[in-house]
């Protein structure tokens, strides 16, 4: 069997819409230095580097090679993974397996994006089939609008329900010094914000950010020596189900989340996630996902997401706080976003989340969303696995 | 370390232009061949790694195109961006972690749909270097010149690689550019970027490759001819060309040493029976054989001139024809793994070297001028 693995240090930049003061390597370097400081390590202690982003946002090819000066990968094994929005979570899943394999003891995992240098929608459109789909699939917003329409039609949810999710996450973000959008909004603000693609409005959507996140994975041989409270990786699961947008047959439910979460709960032995999980950092690129995908995750039955959210169950102080960090509608440096979800869960487990701390977190879940309706999930725990 | 074997291999016939297939269909060919080679169905695959590159594909999230055809539906899956040897490495660790018993790894490129100058120009610093016209070919021309100047190797000596490997490719039914040529042919070919001429460059091909890895208990059920992973490592050097001495390949040396250590290899020149290396340009095979420790630094030209690296030599390098024979960019290193595995299995057909292969080496490259290298040692036992 493989080694048990924990995250022993995290670092992230203060995310902004534009960081003109740094280039990509410098942005990466900020997060790396913070992660190493948090772990009490130096770059000399690190055995290898795993890095990811989405190439077409910055227009840089071979980013694993290009980023060496910022990542600290000089004369170390350095590898790049990319899976779209899921990239950050994909990186964490890779960090886990590579350390569990016994081939690395201390591995630095980095996700980053400098979205200010990109035409985000223009780049995303190129993910689709060039002959058929590029003619009508217009980037991330329109696809998500289709999903929201299907969900609204089938389960009767309203734009007001979705707005409540944005209100929650933007309120949570006020507690997070790293968040990009820190300022409370109301349901009316969301409903009166500019319409992007029906039913989505500006404040339903995530921003695009410049930011980076780095975490240090360590094997069971050293984790407890490095960190007083390592956050142990308990399970990972993912599904990248489709190649083409036109493959997606069911839009009122995120099937990759349904399948991946079933696998995750099985691996964890969790029967009632709403009761047993202490915190969730959901890769929720828009408000409606905060209704739909929590149903698909099994926190409640299909169609009951809005009630859960209105009842405050997912607020700070609720039974299962979702996105204490403010989540993705407050901050979205895409290649880093999934890894930030992991880092935030780790901070919760370590009790280092400051004003956004949820009391006594023993089990936390981080998710990634991206590609073609894909889901990557990781579960972290305070107790060392058996 | 748990033992892992290669239990299935498949590759397409690599060609200049596969107009009749798209990315998906190209990869599906290789996957089907690998599953047939292993004698298992897709149900026997526990998880999948695809390897691709958004720039070469002209698609963001390029892994979207090939997950389904790699059999990822309903399975855990991930995507490495870079050479196929790196994708296979991640696939290997997913088995070693204890999470999976088998991993299917794919890699592919359709060079015919790519503009290599623009794609590799994008690897350079956008402010200072792109506008200088830097791309893979011009940068490697600088490296070739630096290498030749330092060690006094000649263009004719580099040309020996083109002659040997394109000749070897004639015996390779999957190769794209098997040719019987002479040093004079190479010298007379069109000058692309001094000192590189057309035949110093590998072609850019359309092709896909697939490898199936399995944990020992699963491997023994699947096949009676497993090829064991004995050692593997990778390493990246500095980014800026000026931060490196381009006549050296320190990252390759470090990766090779680590892989040799894992495999218990003390004298690679004697113990490695055959090597498949990624020589996108002729001079690179000379340089890589030095980095791999097959000869002393600067001795690459002498080594090939002695005939030692010929298929009949005592350390054959690229008996398949290497990248000179076929170069579907992202798949290039994974094809090296497949060709090395075939040598170990003894079923490399006309490419098979004479002596029985106990240990074979496969090598892949990421980045410009060999910034990042991955080395695999495969064995019979």
Positive or negative torsion for Cα A30, A35, A39, A41? negative
A54: distance to nearest CA of chain B, Å?
Answer: 7
Instruction: Note whether B67 contacts A126, CB cutoff 8 Å.
Output: no
The alpha-carbon gap from A89 to the nearest alpha carbon of chain B, in Å, equals 10
Range A292-308 average pLDDT: 98
A113 and A9 belong to one structural domain: yes
To 10 degrees, what angle do helices A289-296 and A139-155 make?
A: 70
A213, A203: one domain = no
Judged by DSSP in three states, A78 sits in strand
The rounded distance, in Å, linking the Cα atoms of B292 and B265 is: 12
Q: Are residues A70 and A169 in the same domain?
A: no
Distance from CA of A243 to the nearest CA of B (A): 5
Q: Do A358 and A273 belong together in one domain?
A: yes
Note whether residue A162 is domain-resident: yes
Q: What is the DSSP string of B219-243?
A: HHHH-SS-EEEEEEEEEE--SSGGG
Which of A226, A257, A292 is a domain's end point? Answer: A226
Q: Which residues in chain A have their CB less than 8 angstroms from residue B73's CB? A: 241
Does A60 share its domain with A17? Answer: yes
Which residues, 6+ apart, have CB-to-CB distance to B150 below 8 Å?
A: B247, B298
pLDDT confidence bin for A121, thresholds 50/70/90: confident
Q: What are phi and psi of A321, to 5 degrees?
A: -60, 130
Q: Is the dihedral of CA B259, B261, B263, B268 positive or negative?
A: positive
Measured between CA atoms, the residue of chain A closest to residue B54 is: A55
Of A28, A15, A36, which is closest to residue A64 (Cα–Cα)?
A28
Q: Is A113 among the domain residues?
A: yes
pLDDT at A1 over 80: no
The number of folded domains in chain A is 2
Residue B201 phi/psi, 5-degree rounding, is -95, 140
Here the tokens at position A5 are 């693995």
Q: Which residues of B touch A126 (CB under 8 A)?
A: 58-60
Mutate to test the interface with B, among A2, A56, A58, A82 (most CBs of B within 10 A): A82
Distance from CA of A51 to the nearest CA of B (A): 10
CA dist A256 and B73 (Å) reads: 10
A100 and B98 within 8 Å at the Cβ level: the answer is yes
CA distances from B285 to B162, B240, B280, B378 (A): 10, 22, 8, 20
Report residue A99 CA to chain centroid gap.
21
Neighbour-count burial of B312, counting CB atoms closer than 10 A to its CB (0-12 exposed, 13-18 middle, 19+ buried): exposed
Q: Are residues A274 and A362 in the same domain?
A: yes
By C-alpha distance, the chain A residue nearest B88 is A79
DSSP for B135-189, please give it.
-HHHHHHHHHHHHHHHHT--HHHHHHHHHHHHHHHTT-TT-S------HHHHHHS
Give the pLDDT of residue A241.
86
Shared domain for A275 and A375, answered yes or no, is: yes
In a domain, A196, yes or no: yes
A300 and A172 together in one domain: yes
Which helix (H) or strand (E) covers residue B263, if one does? helix B250-263
pLDDT given for residue B308 in this prediction: 98
Choose the closest CB to A93 out of B78, B86, B123: B78
How high is the pLDDT of residue B355?
Answer: 94
Residue A52, domain extent: 5-119+209-226
Residue A128 maps to a domain: no
Judge whether A125 lies within some domain: no
Pairwise CA distance, residues A116 & A139, whole Å = 17
pTM above 0.95, yes or no: yes
* A-interface mutation test, from B79, B213, B258, B369, most A Cβ less than 10 A away: B79
pLDDT band at A326 (very low <50, low <70, confident <90, very high): very high
Can you give the pLDDT at residue B306?
Answer: 98
Q: Provide, rounded to the nearest whole percent, the portion of chain A with pLDDT above 70.
A: 100
Do residue A189 and residue A318 come from a single domain?
yes
Put simply, the answer to whether A78 touches B69 (Cβ < 8 Å) is no
How many CB atoms are located within 10 Å of the residue A171 CB?
16
Q: Is the ipTM of this complex over 0.85?
A: yes
What are A102-113's pLDDT values in tens digits?
999 999 999 999
Rounded-to-integer distance, Cα B291 and Cα B289, Å: 5
What residues of B are in contact with residue A117 (Cβ under 8 Å)?
Answer: none
Mutation for testing the A interface, residue in B66, B93, B104 having most A CBs under 10 Å: B93
A327 in a domain, yes or no? yes
State which residue of chain B sits closest to A242, comparing Cα positions: B68
* Chain A: closest CA distance from residue B354 (Å): 34
The residue among A226, A259, A292 that closes a domain is A226
Q: What is the pLDDT of residue A292?
A: 98
**A75 chain-B contacts, CB cut-off 8 A:** 235-237, 250-251, 254
CB A284 within 8 A of CB A323: yes
* 381 residues of chain B, pLDDT tens digit each: 689 999 999 999 999 999 999 999 999 999 999 999 999 999 999 999 999 999 999 999 999 999 999 999 999 999 999 999 999 999 999 999 999 999 999 999 999 999 999 999 999 998 899 999 999 999 999 999 999 999 999 999 999 999 999 999 999 999 999 999 999 999 999 999 999 999 999 999 999 999 999 999 999 999 999 999 999 999 999 999 999 999 999 999 999 999 999 999 999 999 999 999 999 999 999 999 999 999 999 999 999 999 999 999 999 999 999 999 999 999 999 999 999 999 999 999 999 999 999 999 999 999 999 999 999 999 998
Task: CATH number of the domain at A184, please.
Answer: 3.40.47.10
Residue A133 has pLDDT above 90, yes or no: no
Same domain, A102 and A183: no
Residue where a domain stops, chosen among A192, A226, A260: A226
Residue ranges and CATH numbers for the domains of chain B are: 4-115+204-222 (3.40.47.10)
Q: Does residue A174 sit in the same domain as residue A250?
A: yes
Assess if residue A231 is contained within a domain.
no
Assess if residue A124 is contained within a domain: no
User: A46 and A195 share a domain?
Assistant: no
pLDDT on residue A380: 98
């Amino acid at each position: 069997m493989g080694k048990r693995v924990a995250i022993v240090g995290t670092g992230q930049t203060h995310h902004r819409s534009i960081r003109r003061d740094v280039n990509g390597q410098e942005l990466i370097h900020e997060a790396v230095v913070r992660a190493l400081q948090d772990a009490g390590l130096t770059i000399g202690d690190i055995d290898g580097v795993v890095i990811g982003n989405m190439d077409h946002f910055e227009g840089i090819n071979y980013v694993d090679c290009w980023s060496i000066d910022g990542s600290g990968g000089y004369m170390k094994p350095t590898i790049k993974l990319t899976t779209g929005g899921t990239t950050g979570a994909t990186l964490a899943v890779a960090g886990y397996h590579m350390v569990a394999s016994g081939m690395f003891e201390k591995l630095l995992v980095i996700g980053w994006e400098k979205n200010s240098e990109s035409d985000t929608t223009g780049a995303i459109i190129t993910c689709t089939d060039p002959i058929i789909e590029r003619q009508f699939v217009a980037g991330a917003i329109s696809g998500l609008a289709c999903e929201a329409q299907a969900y609204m039609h089938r389960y009767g949810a309203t734009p007001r329900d979705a707005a409540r999710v944005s209100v929650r996450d933007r309120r949570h973000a006020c507690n997070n010094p790293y968040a990009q959008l820190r300022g409370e909004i109301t349901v009316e603000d969301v409903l009166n914000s500019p319409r992007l693609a029906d039913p989505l409005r500006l404040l339903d959507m995530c921003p695009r950010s410049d930011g980076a996140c780095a975490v240090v994975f360590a094997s069971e041989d050293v984790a407890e020596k490095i960190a007083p409270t390592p956050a142990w990786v308990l399970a990972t699961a993912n599904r990248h189900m489709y190649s083409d947008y036109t493959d997606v047959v069911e839009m009122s439910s995120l099937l990759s989340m349904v399948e991946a979460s079933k696998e995750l709960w099985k691996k964890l032995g969790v029967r009632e996630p709403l009761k047993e999980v202490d915190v969730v950092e959901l890769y929720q690129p828009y408000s409606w996902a905060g209704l739909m995908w929590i149903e698909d995750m099994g926190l409640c039955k299909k169609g009951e997401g809005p009630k859960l959210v209105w009842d405050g169950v997912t607020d700070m102080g609720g039974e299962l706080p979702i996105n204490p960090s403010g989540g993705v509608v407050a901050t979205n440096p895409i290649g880093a976003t999934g890894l930030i979800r992991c880092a935030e869960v780790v901070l919760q487990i370590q009790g280092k989340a400051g004003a956004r701390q949820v009391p006594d977190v023993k089990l936390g879940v981080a998710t990634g969303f991206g590609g073609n309706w894909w889901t990557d999930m990781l579960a972290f725990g305070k107790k060392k696995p058996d | 370390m748990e033992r892992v074997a290669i239990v299935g291999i498949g590759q397409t016939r690599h060609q200049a232009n596969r107009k009749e297939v798209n990315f998906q269909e190209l990869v599906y060919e290789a996957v089907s061949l690998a599953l047939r080679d292993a004698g298992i169905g897709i149900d026997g695959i526990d998880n999948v790694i695809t390897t691709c590159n958004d720039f070469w594909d002209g698609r963001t999230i390029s892994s979207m195109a090939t997950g389904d055809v790699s059999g990822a539906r309903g399975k855990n899956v991930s995507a490495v961006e870079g050479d196929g040897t790196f994708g296979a490495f991640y696939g290997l660790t997913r088995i070693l972690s204890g999470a999976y018993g088998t991993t299917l790894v794919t890699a592919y490129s359709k060079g015919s749909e790519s503009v290599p100058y623009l794609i590799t120009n994008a690897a350079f610093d956008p402010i200072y270097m792109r506008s200088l016209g830097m791309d893979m070919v011009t940068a490697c021309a600088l490296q070739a010149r630096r290498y030749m100047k330092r060690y006094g190797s000649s263009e004719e000596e580099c040309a020996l690689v083109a002659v040997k490997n394109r000749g070897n490719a004639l015996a390779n039914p999957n190769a794209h550019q098997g040719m019987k040529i002479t040093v004079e042919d190479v010298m007379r070919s069109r000058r692309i970027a001094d000192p590189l001429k057309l035949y110093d460059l590998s072609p850019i091909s359309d092709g896909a490759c697939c490898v199936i890895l399995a944990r020992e208990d699963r491997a023994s059920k699947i096949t009676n001819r497993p090829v064991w992973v004995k050692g593997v490592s990778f390493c990246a050097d500095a980014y800026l060309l000026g931060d490196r001495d381009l006549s050296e390949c320190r990252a390759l040396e470090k990766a090779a040493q680590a892989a040799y250590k894992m495999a218990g290899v003390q004298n690679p020149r004697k113990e490695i029976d055959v090597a498949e290396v990624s020589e996108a340009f002729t001079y690179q095979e000379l340089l890589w054989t030095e980095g791999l420790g097959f000869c002393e630094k600067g001795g690459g030209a002498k080594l090939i001139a002695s005939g030692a690296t010929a298929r009949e030599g005592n350390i054959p390098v690229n008996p398949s024809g290497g990248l000179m024979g076929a170069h579907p960019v992202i798949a290039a290193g994974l094809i090296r793994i497949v060709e090395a595995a075939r040598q170990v299995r003894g079923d490399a057909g006309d490419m098979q070297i004479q002596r029985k292969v106990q240990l074979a080496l496969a090598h892949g490259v990421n980045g410009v001028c060999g910034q990042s290298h991955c080395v695999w040692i495969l064995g019979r036992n």
